[in-house]
Amino acid sequence: MATFSNQPLRQASNLKVFLLKSKNQLLLQGPLGSYNYPIFLDLRFSKAERKLWLMKISKTNLSVLGTAHVLLAQAMLGVLIGYRQQMNIVGIGYQVNLNNKTLVFKLGFSHVISILIPDSISATCLKSRTLLLKSMNYQKLQNFSALLRSLKFPNPYKEKGIYYLDEPILLKQGKKT
């Protein structure tokens, strides 16, 4: 098991970090915007030489220490460069359109499906079958893309559905006669 308490998080030159003790939050400001990272009560942050350490206080928070380290690193990267997720819609007649802050899907059902895009996520339709999602928050981006994928899961027999970019799909053999 790796110990994350010995490994510091390096702070980039264009990243500003402020500790808000009254709200138990860490404010991260970068070129893409700002993000309030909630601090667990048992964790302390020490900032020296533009590095951040997560310090263990008791044995009970040792299991949470690695998770908090990774989530903080994701938040720092999200504020600096952001995250993106490309989704492909495969199937005859399947398409997606962007109307204001709403995604309109035509997925072979008798009705269209409209989904409101959250404020923290920006979406662009590159083609009628390709959707690009961008966000600073990795968790919200993954949750929203999983919600979109659940509208029409990839079918292993017909190779239809909503796929992530470069997602390997194992095709199953159909009925043998």
Q: What secondary structure letter does DSSP report for 159?
A: -
CB-CB contact of 90 with 160 (8 Å): yes
Q: What secondary structure letter does DSSP report for 4?
A: S
Mean pLDDT throughout 45-62? 68
132 in any annotated domain:
yes
3 in any annotated domain:
no
What's the chain's average pLDDT?
84
Q: Is the dihedral of CA 38, 41, 43, 45 positive or negative?
A: positive
CATH number at residue 76: 3.90.930.12
Per the document, the length of the chain is 177
Query: 39 pLDDT band (50/70/90 cuts)?
Result: confident
176 in any annotated domain:
no
Give the tens place of pLDDT for each residue, 101-125.
999 999 989 999 999 999 999 999 9
Residues 71 and 112 in one domain: no
pLDDT of res. 44 = 57
Lowest mean pLDDT among 10-14, 63-67, 75-79: 63-67
Residue range of the domain that includes 51: 9-80
pLDDT of res. 68 = 80
153 in any annotated domain:
yes
pLDDT of res. 43 = 55
Q: Which of 21, 49, 80 is the last residue of a domain?
A: 80
Residues 72 and 87 in one domain: no
62 in any annotated domain:
yes
Q: Number of structural domains, the chain?
A: 2
Torsion angles phi and psi, residue 129, rounded to 5: -120, 10
Residues 90 and 74 in one domain: no
Mean pLDDT throughout 81-107? 92
170 in any annotated domain:
no
